[in-house]
Structure 1
Amino acid sequence: MADALPTTDLFTHLHIDLNSFFASVEQQLHPEYRGRPTAVVGGPIADTATLIAASYECKAVGVKTGTKVGEARTKIPEIILVNGNHSVYAEYSHKISAAVERVCPVAHTPSIDEMVCELMGRERQPPAARKIALAIKQAIKEDVGETLNCSIGMAPNRYLAKIASDMQKPDGLIGLLPSQLPRAIAHLELRDLPGVGARTEERLNAKGIRTMPELLALDRNGMHTLWDSVWGDRLYHWLRGHDTGDDGAPVASDLQKSLGHSHVLGPEHRSQDGAWAVAHKLLHKAAMRLRMEHFHAASMALTIKYSLTREQAQAVSSRGGYSEDEGPAVSPARARVKKHSSGITQTGWGMEARFRHSNDTLTLLEVLRGLWAQRPNGAEHQKPFFVGVTLRNLLNDEDVPQRLFAEPGHRTELSATMDKLNLKYGHTTLHFAGMLPARESAPTRIAFTQIPVRYGVDYM
């Protein structure tokens, strides 16, 4: 991999980042919200809930994603709060992708509100790339809605295009030419780099790197040593506009590794029976997705989080997570006392079970029942408020070894019949009785890192 700087100023990638996407969709749907501070909440609207999106009218006074509803109301008494609608945002994401495709093919979709276009031939010339970017902005407004603004970054690799898209918001258009690098990004903060979060920044600070100029002053060997991995080598080249062959994209996996759902329980389900019903529904959704995506799973993980009183939190911390009457029911790493984003003081428990590759709901439900029976029952494990069910060790259907004998009770046929009805009428139309108390609970969550897939009449 050569260290020489590129000799031609070309843009190879456009990164399209929708501005305040969920809030902008709400303002498109409701003209009366336009020009007014609008924020989206992922669940029930309460002072302890967290905003998952905020319009630029909110951001202008310091209310942004992650702000608590109570704090937002204090800063903006007239704020419009909306309960997010996953299916609507998924529909708009698909509409926007189609609008972009009308101008330039979408090569990657990193998240529900981001798209990447890879430029070819003469499209890479800066004037042509800028013309394409402006045409994309116009296509989105014409085909989807006037409130849907986007910021577009143009750069010689995908990593830099992502950085450029964040440099001017809202409705920005920034290009980072190879001849301007790396000085064009020297003014940024370390946290502005994709992949550098709070913990990574702390590690860099501990190694003497606190500013972007200090990072950019390192040679390739210094970057490798700093990260202690090939990531440092890649980053060295990406920040200088080099093409490393992967364009800053995550390393692709040949096979999806897991599939699952989780849910913060509503007050009416914060009991053992309520949590079980929700866990049952999460499995019902995951099993249906497993079949729709043509996978079989060979392991299942169950995670439960419990709310604690102050006294219970002190007791759990002093015992290192051990329950006096149960011994080490969970590992200390899982039993730490933490603060949930809702403000709830919590402890957690989790267990994983392995089994023969399966994808029928009844078999998976039996595994879930076995895991559920192993959950701890100490005083600090009586108020569940979060449940997660994850199916792992996935295999494509065609790779699953055939069984000598058919499964008992024609379970595959039963699941196929359930799927046929649920695809036509909604995924909770036909289900096992255990999830009945939670039938309307645990709706499909708003997705940030993936584009939701529509199965029949529902997004999941």
Structure 2
Amino acid sequence: MGPFRTLYIDMNSFFASVEQQVDPSIRGRPVAITAMENEKGCCVAASYEAKAFGVGTGTSVVDARRMCPGIVFLPSRHRLYVRYNLQVAAVLDRFCELERIRSVDEFQVALSGEARALAGARALVASLKGAVAAEVGECLRFSAGIGPNHLLAKIAGKLEKPNGFQWLSADNMPDRISHLELDDLPGISKSMKARLLRAGVYDVGTLCRLDPRHARIIWRSVEGERFVRMLQGMNIEITPTKRSGYGNSKVLAPELRQPREAYLVSRWLIEKATSRLRRDGRVASSFSLHLSPMDAPRWARSIKTASTQDTAEFLRINRALWIRAWPYVRWKKLLGIGVHLGDVDMLENRIGDLLAPLAPAERSAGERASAAVDFINQRFGEGTVTYGINRPHPGFFERG
């Protein structure tokens, strides 16, 4: 049995558990985390006490209140959850080799020594559970899975919740996961499931036994071959991804759904996206605006530009796109908006411009001014300096 290479840790109802850890008065009670503080929103997370009543991610606030009388609704505090994520990561890294923080509630650990055998891995997981409870909080529990690669370890980690431990290897595959639906597997979307069904792959067992070369054809990508080979137990390293762009999107609060208010929110989103762009030393050469009216098709347009990290330049492009969109959206309420800076590259790779004039990798006056704004806001607080009028819409990711 084994050897096992990867331990995957999946925190149980993480957002709700953090809130219960912070506030002892709601421990043992059904709790739902919402993205918006009104009856129009939906749940983005739920405690196991709430899940027992059928409340889950995507359940509307109205339905959750009906399904689970006495449920406690709390607004999301993403920064709080990130702080707890880092505390858990610090504990894990002290006991073993923390390879990756896969998300705010998932961690990937490399196994070595005695932990590559089932008994040793089981003992390690028990130690980690005890340490997280003692050092981070007794409400913080996780399910763990081990496998010969990260994919099988992740699948194993979702087989027994909450607070479980499972393993997958050649000794119990594919029978151990034959009860799962194709789209229960990570990476299999509804559209990919439909493609697999058209190819005659109707269940997980058939997928596990598929010729990897056939999978490449079905996926129309080498990723299909990689996926099936990992299901069959091969250890394939995660391919590093290249950053394709910087974006922000927002489901608008009811009071900000008029186009004039939504336009001010878009300016705020651009300030945040361009600040991250500069932080990473990158430039972008395209800008996209997405507007989602209520009860009407989405409006979206993109514009190419010279590569830049100048916030003022992207604000000018945003204004131009809003002028084009105005006849379509002026009488509509907007449910959501999004901005995206695309075609990114490193500033150090930008060639010079004789007409500007700019030397290779040299910042323009506007880019230097933008960097100065970043410095002031970092030192004295976000929003100390803004690029004219905007409308902050913190919501999910800025609370805490």
TM-score, normalisation: structure 1: 0.80
Tell me the SS of whatever aligns to 2:74.
strand
- Aligned residue for 1:144? 136
Distance in structure 2 (CA, Å) of the matches to 1:80 and 1:291: 40
Match of 2:312 among 362, 372, 379: 362
Match of 1:377 among 317, 327, 335: 327
- Aligned residue for 2:17? 24
- Aligned residue for 2:248? 261
Determine what percentage of the aligned residue pairs are the same residue: 33
- Aligned residue for 2:103? 111
Match of 2:266 among 279, 291, 297: 279
Contact 2:287 2:303 in 1 (8 A): yes
1:398 aligns with 2:386: no
Contact 1:45 1:81 in 2 (8 A): no
Distance 1:217 1:292, change over 3 A: closer
- Aligned residue for 2:37? 44
1:376 Cα offset (Å): 4.5
Contact 1:10 1:178 in 2 (8 A): no
The 5-angstrom pairing of residues 76-225 of structure 1 reads 76-225=68-217
1:261-288, Cα deviation, whole Å (9 max, x unpaired)? 1112222222222111001000011111
Match of 1:410 among 340, 365, 370: 365
Relative to structure 2, which stretch is displaced further, 127-136 or 226-235?
Answer: 226-235
1:35 aligns with 2:28: yes
1:127-179, Cα deviation, whole Å (9 max, x unpaired)? 22222222222222122111111111100111000100100000111112332
1:308-346, Cα deviation, whole Å (9 max, x unpaired)? xxxxxxxxxxxxxxxxxxxxxxxxxxxxxxxxxxxxx33
1:422 Cα offset (Å): 0.9
Distance in structure 1 (CA, Å) of the matches to 2:135 and 2:253: 38
Distance 1:155 1:432, change over 3 A: same
Distance 1:225 1:273, change over 3 A: closer
Relative to structure 2, which stretch is displaced further, 171-180 or 26-35?
Answer: 171-180
- Aligned residue for 2:394? 443
1:409 Cα offset (Å): 9.0
Contact 2:36 2:253 in 1 (8 A): no
1:386 aligns with 2:373: no
Relative to structure 2, which stretch is displaced further, 388-397 or 220-229?
Answer: 220-229
1:224 Cα offset (Å): 4.3
1:417 Cα offset (Å): 2.4
Tell me the SS of whatever aligns to 2:130.
helix
Distance in structure 1 (CA, Å) of the matches to 2:67 and 2:342: 44
- Aligned residue for 1:351? 301
Can you give the 5+ residue segments of structure 2 that lack an aligned partner in the other structure? none
Distance in structure 1 (CA, Å) of the matches to 2:142 and 2:328: 51
- Aligned residue for 2:225? 233
1:289 aligns with 2:240: no
Relative to structure 2, which stretch is displaced further, 412-421 or 75-84?
Answer: 412-421
Distance in structure 2 (CA, Å) of the matches to 1:11 and 1:410: 55
Distance 1:351 1:63, change over 3 A: same
Distance in structure 1 (CA, Å) of the matches to 2:181 and 2:351: 51
Distance 1:352 1:277, change over 3 A: same
Distance 1:61 1:361, change over 3 A: same
- Aligned residue for 1:70? 62
Tell me the SS of whatever aligns to 2:9.
strand
TM-score, normalisation: structure 2: 0.92
**Corresponding letter in the other structure for 2:154:** K
Contact 2:76 2:399 in 1 (8 A): no
1:244-266, Cα deviation, whole Å (9 max, x unpaired)? x32xx3x322x311011111222
Distance 1:65 1:378, change over 3 A: closer
Can you give the 5+ residue segments of structure 1 that lack an aligned partner in the other structure? 1-7, 308-344, 447-457
- Aligned residue for 1:421? 376
Distance in structure 1 (CA, Å) of the matches to 2:184 and 2:363: 55
1:36 Cα offset (Å): 0.3
Tell me the SS of whatever aligns to 2:325.
coil
Distance in structure 2 (CA, Å) of the matches to 1:98 and 1:136: 11
Tell me the SS of whatever aligns to 2:312.
helix
Distance in structure 1 (CA, Å) of the matches to 2:324 and 2:191: 34
**Corresponding letter in the other structure for 2:396:** R
1:401 Cα offset (Å): 2.1
Paired positions, count: 395
**Corresponding letter in the other structure for 1:138:** G
1:10 Cα offset (Å): 1.0
Q: What's the Cα RMSD here?
A: 2.3
Distance in structure 2 (CA, Å) of the matches to 1:129 and 1:19: 20
